[in-house]
Amino acid sequence: MTDFENTEKLYHFTNFEAACKILSSKTLRLSKMNSMNDVNESFRMIYSRSEGKCFSWSTTGAKYRQLSFSEDTVRTPGFLNLPMWGYYADKGRGVCIVLDKNKVVEELQTQRFWHGKVKYVKRYDNDLIISSEKEIDRRFRSVFFRKDNAWRHENEYRVVSKDSSLKELNIEESIRWVIMYHLGEESIYNTAEYKTLSRILDSKDKLLVYGRFMNKEILSGQTNNDIIIHWKQEL
């Protein structure tokens, strides 16, 4: 078993420009809960029993921020999630940042965060019936950690800030690897993107390349110009 396989991991897919900022600052920014790409989460109605009227989620949701990761499934490593490469990593031109999950959790426990796996349900009701806004905090699992089955492919591990002032997560101790997707157009090791990421990481050992060859999924790294196969699986 390799170090990569032995590490419990979280994956963050993003475009190249954002990846450079993340890796340079060693932080991940949290997004407002009222600006999600899932319309069921961005547009919700809140009914207050105590006041007998409805409120828009646009104001209340802005008080909470979130950060999304993907995880491994029982059968498939998270970096093989092709929809995530397509939707969030610029159609494969971006990167997948691999974090040590245990280190991330340690950092989360030092501040006011909720975190955990997202549960996917067949019948997702995005409207909330509450007595007061404090009830949202008491019901945080059902409010923030449930999504419609349509998003199951993301296999999301989510972080939600309880404090609107918490806008970033320090990942300095959590970054383990960065994966680039080899689109097969040229040797990726000669590209400006590979050289830029190598310089930011100050190490080629952390920079891996994922590609497909002869019906196999291959994750490789380059050290002293030698290719090292870290993970390989037949389809």
Confidence (pLDDT) at 221: 81
When mean pLDDT is compared across 47-61, 81-95, 98-112, 139-153, the lowest value belongs to 47-61
Look at the block and give the residue holding tokens 């078993």: 1
Share above pLDDT 90 across residues of the chain, in percent, rounded to a whole number: 54
CA dihedral 73, 217, 197, 82 (to 10 degrees): -50
Average pLDDT, the chain: 87
The answer to whether the beta carbons of residues 13 and 71 sit under 8 Å apart is no
Instruction: Provide CB contacts within 8 A for 27, sequence distance 6+.
Output: 168, 169, 170, 171, 172
Sequence spans of domains, the chain: 3-234
Q: Is the pLDDT at 147 greater than 90, yes or no?
A: yes
Confidence (pLDDT) at 40: 84
Degrees to nearest 5, angle at CA 122 with 147 and 84 = 45
Q: Is the pLDDT at 213 greater than 60, yes or no?
A: yes
pLDDT in tens, 62-100: 889 999 999 999 888 999 999 999 999 999 999 999 999
Confidence (pLDDT) at 61: 83
Higher-confidence residue of 154 and 165: namely 154
In this prediction, residue 126 has a pLDDT band, given cuts at 50, 70 and 90, of: confident
Q: Report pTM.
A: 0.90
When mean pLDDT is compared across 4-8, 191-195, 231-235, the lowest value belongs to 231-235
Confidence (pLDDT) at 223: 61
Mean pLDDT (whole number) for 137-163: 93
Rounded CA gap, 185 and 51, in Å?
A: 61
Q: Is the pLDDT at 225 greater than 60, yes or no?
A: no
